[in-house]
Amino acid sequence: MPERIAADFLPDTLPDNPMHLVDAWLSAARDANFLPNPNAMTLATSEDGRPAARIVLCKGFDAEAGIVDFYTNYESAKGRVIDAHPEVALVFHWDHQSRQVRIEGLALRAPAEQSDAYFASRPRKSQLGAWASAQSQPIDSRDAMLARFESAAAEHGGDSVERPPHWGGYRVWARACELWVEGAGRVHDRARFERELTVAGDTVATGAWQGSRLQP
């Protein structure tokens, strides 16, 4: 049984940019080599007041810019909702380190070159899976799904697999970030940081982070 680690509380003087601490916590979770998916995060979306949440993997983290990347099928349930309602929330929970991170922000499609580069780095089976799966659509049976995978494999033969146009990355520009560390007697340590995001075409301008400690 892996041991729980008593995590340090947040610094008395809160950092100017909380995302550097998130980056360090993510690295610490990766270093704990008993976690199968240290980069797993809950992604919550919302449409017409109906929230939905699922796990995705964090595949890029830019602490300075405050951006978190994940990859998915753009025509999946989440992809369709995000394109229409880009405000999302993310949660990381590293139980063994008594840490939680909550991020809220704007999810925008990653540049095609970034998605191409990440897709090219994936194992071939995962690449074929991206072609085979019309993610979130019904299918009659598991055998029918495996048959779709086999036909994607046959279509590509031994050739390299290009990125499907319906598959790629999202970049979540953090507007808010909350750091949480468990404390004895439920006296946890929390701090919430916020900043302005201004979208202009394909670019996002960011204001300075403002942080404050919160009661747990």
Ligand X SMILES: Cc1cc2nc3c(=O)[nH]c(=O)nc-3n(C[C@H](O)[C@H](O)[C@H](O)COP(=O)(O)O)c2cc1C
The answer to whether 73 and 168 are in contact (CB under 8 A) is no
Of positions 32, 35, 57, 197, contacts ligand X by CB under 6 A:
57
Binding mask 21-50 for ligand X (x = CB under 6 A): ----------------x--x----------
- Least Å distance between CB 79 and ligand X? 6
Quick one: three-class SS letters along the chain? Answer: CCCCCCCCCCCCCCCCCHHHHHHHHHHHHHHCCCCCCCCEEEEEEEECCEEEEEEEECCEEECCCCEEEEEEECCCHHHHHHHHCCEEEEEEEEHHHCEEEEEEEEEEECCHHHHHHHHHCCCHHHHHHHHHCCCCCCCCCHHHHHHHHHHHHHHHCCCCCCCCCCEEEEEEEEEEEEEEECCHHHCCEEEEEECCEEEECCEEEECCCEEEEECC
Q: CA 6 from chain center: how many Å?
A: 25
Q: Does 55 bind ligand X (CB under 6 A)?
A: yes
Of positions 136, 151, 210, 212, contacts ligand X by CB under 6 A:
136
Neighbours of 167 (CB within 10 A): 22
Of positions 15, 35, 44, 135, contacts ligand X by CB under 6 A:
135
Token couple for 36: 């199968």
- Least Å distance between CB 168 and ligand X? 11
Whose Cβ is closer to ligand X: residue 30's or residue 54's? 54
- Least Å distance between CB 61 and ligand X? 14
Of positions 77, 153, 176, 197, contacts ligand X by CB under 6 A:
77
User: Count of residues binding ligand X (CB under 6 A)?
Assistant: 15
Catalytically active residues are 186
Of positions 17, 72, 98, 100, contacts ligand X by CB under 6 A:
72
The span of 54-62, 107-115, 146-154, 188-196 binding ligand X (CB under 6 A) equals 54-62
- Least Å distance between CB 82 and ligand X? 9
Q: Which residues bind ligand X (CB under 6 A)?
A: 37, 40, 52, 54-57, 70-72, 76-78, 135-136
